[in-house]
Amino acid sequence: MILSSSRLRSRFLGVELENPFILSAGPSTDELDITRAGLDAGWAGVILKTTSLPTTDVDLVYPMMSSFNNGDDILGMGNIDLISIYHLEEIVKRISILKSEYPGKMIAASIMSDSREGWQTLVRALKDADVDLIECSFSCPQGNVGEDPGKMLAQSVSATEKVAGWVKEAAEELPVLIKITPQVTDIVAIAGAILKSKCDGITASNSIPALMGIDIDSLTPIPQVDGYSTYSGLSGGAIKPITLRTIAEISRNFTDATISGNGGISNWRDSVEVLAVGASNIQICTAVMLHGFGIIEDLTSGLDNYLIEKGFNSVTELVGKALPKLVSHEQLPRHQVRSAVIKEKCIGCGRCYISCRDGGHIAIKWDSVNRLPDIDEEKCVGCGLCLLVQPVDGCLSLKRVD
Ligand X SMILES: Cc1cc2nc3c(=O)[nH]c(=O)nc-3n(C[C@H](O)[C@H](O)[C@H](O)COP(=O)(O)O)c2cc1C
Q: Which residues bind ligand X (CB under 6 A)?
A: 24-27, 49-50, 79, 81, 83-84, 110, 137, 179, 206-207, 235-236, 239, 262-265, 284-287
User: Residue 319: helix, strand or coil by DSSP?
Assistant: coil
Q: How far is the CB of 26 from ligand X (least distance, A)?
A: 4
Q: How far is the CB of 324 from ligand X (least distance, A)?
A: 27
Choice between 106 and 352, CB closer to ligand X = 106
Distance CA 238, CA 224 (A): 21
CB 303 within 8 A of CB 272: yes
Q: How far is the CB of 314 from ligand X (least distance, A)?
A: 24
Distance CA 194, CA 157 (A): 9
Which residue in 156, 162, 99 sits closest to 127, CA to CA? 99
Length of the chain: 402
Choice between 25 and 163, CB closer to ligand X = 25
- State the catalytic residue, choosing from 140, 199, 285, 356: 140
- C-alpha dist (Å) from residue 377 to 139, 334, 335: 50, 18, 15
346 noted as active-site residue = no
Which residue in 15, 81, 82 sits closest to 44, CA to CA? 15
Tally the C-alpha atoms within 13 A of residue 294's C-alpha that lie toward its C-beta.
3
Choice between 26 and 223, CB closer to ligand X = 26
Q: What is the DSSP string of 111-176?
A: E--SSHHHHHHHHHHHHHTT-SEEEEES--TT--SSSSTTS-GGG-HHHHHHHHHHHHHHHTTS-E
Query: What sign does the dihedral 74-77-78-81 (CA atoms) show?
Result: positive
Query: What sign does the dihedral 133-138-143-149 (CA atoms) show?
Result: positive
Choice between 24 and 251, CB closer to ligand X = 24
- Start-to-end CA distance of the chain, whole Å, equals 49
Q: How far is the CB of 305 from ligand X (least distance, A)?
A: 22
Q: How far is the CB of 336 from ligand X (least distance, A)?
A: 39
Which residue in 103, 159, 91 sits closest to 128, CA to CA? 91
Choice between 53 and 364, CB closer to ligand X = 53
Distance CA 120, CA 171 (A): 8
Choice between 286 and 300, CB closer to ligand X = 286
Q: Which residues pair with 367 in a beta bridge?
A: 372
Choice between 289 and 372, CB closer to ligand X = 289
Amino acid symbol at 274 = V
Which residue in 394, 377, 364 sits closest to 338, CA to CA? 377
Q: How far is the CB of 235 from ligand X (least distance, A)?
A: 3
Q: How far is the CB of 236 from ligand X (least distance, A)?
A: 5
Report the catalytic residues.
140
